[in-house]
């Protein structure tokens, strides 16, 4: 996911300044990593340089002067193109989970890999319980539920992989150390 594209999407509703964009990002994507103010302003600078946004005004509520930005036609076209792109399935296994299992086998053997897999499974289960609590809480928004469902789906796939790999650790160790 590109912060620039998300900011373009947030600006599609009308002009906003950086503080509003940061708040909107964190509110609209509650399960995503919060975006830093510095990242917002650096990204706005690049978007302005590339002709995707332009300053649209200045306001000073009760603090420093804030510049609002709005999308240009080129920015709207870029946003529409990005929204129309299908995300390709990852062509390579780049998961830290997989890498740690292989490195554990190389560095310390199957017992270390098993210990890691078991610990990781426990951490995944804890996170799944947290997400389930979020999505079933009385104040959960539809966005909270959808974001939690997405994360739970990924955690569930990881848990299946962890369990399968735990059963195959001895064979994988032979292959890795061959």
The string of pLDDT tens digits covering residues 76-98 is: 999 999 988 877 776 666 578 88
- pTM, entire model: 0.70
Q: Is the pLDDT score of 143 beyond 60? A: yes
Of the candidates 157, 142, 123, the one whose C-alpha atom is nearest the C-alpha of residue 134 is 142
Taking the C-alpha atoms of residue 7 and residue 78, their distance in angstroms, rounded to an integer, is 12
Q: How far apart are CA 162 and CA 169, in angstroms?
A: 10
Q: Which two tokens stand for residue 48?
A: 């302005």
User: Rg of the chain's alpha carbons, rounded to an integer?
Assistant: 22
Give the distance, in angstroms, between the CA of residue 73 and the centroid of all CA atoms in the same chain.
27
**Cα(23)–Cα(19) distance, integer angstroms:** 6
pLDDT of residue 152: 93
- The pLDDT of residue 1 is 57
Percent of the chain with pLDDT over 70: 93
The tens digit of pLDDT for each residue in 34-75 reads: 899 999 999 999 999 999 999 998 876 666 778 899 999 999
CA distance 103 to 153: 26
Q: Which two tokens stand for residue 152?
A: 């739970």
- Is 17 in contact with 24 (CB distance < 8 Å)? no
pLDDT, averaged across the chain: 88
For the segment 112-128, the average pLDDT, to the nearest whole number, is: 92
């Amino acid at each position: 996911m590109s912060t620039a594209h998300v900011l373009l999407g947030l600006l599609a509703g009308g002009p906003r300044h950086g503080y509003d964009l940061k708040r909107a990002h964190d509110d609209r994507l509650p399960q995503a990593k919060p975006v830093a103010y510095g990242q917002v302003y650096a990204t706005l600078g690049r978007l302005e340089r590339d002709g995707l946004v332009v300053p649209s005004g200045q306001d000073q509520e009760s603090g420093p002067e804030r510049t609002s930005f709005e999308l240009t036609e080129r920015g709207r076209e870029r946003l529409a193109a990005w929204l129309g792109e299908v995300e390709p399935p990852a062509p390579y296994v780049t998961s830290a989970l997989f890498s740690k299992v292989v490195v554990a086998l190389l560095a310390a053997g199957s017992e270390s890999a098993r210990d890691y897999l078991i610990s990781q499974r426990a951490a995944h289960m804890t996170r799944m319980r947290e997400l389930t609590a979020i999505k079933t809480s009385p104040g959960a928004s539809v966005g909270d539920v959808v974001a939690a469902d997405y994360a739970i789906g990924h955690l569930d796939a990881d848990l299946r992989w962890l369990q399968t790999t735990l059963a195959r650790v001895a064979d994988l160790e032979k292959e890795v150390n061959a």
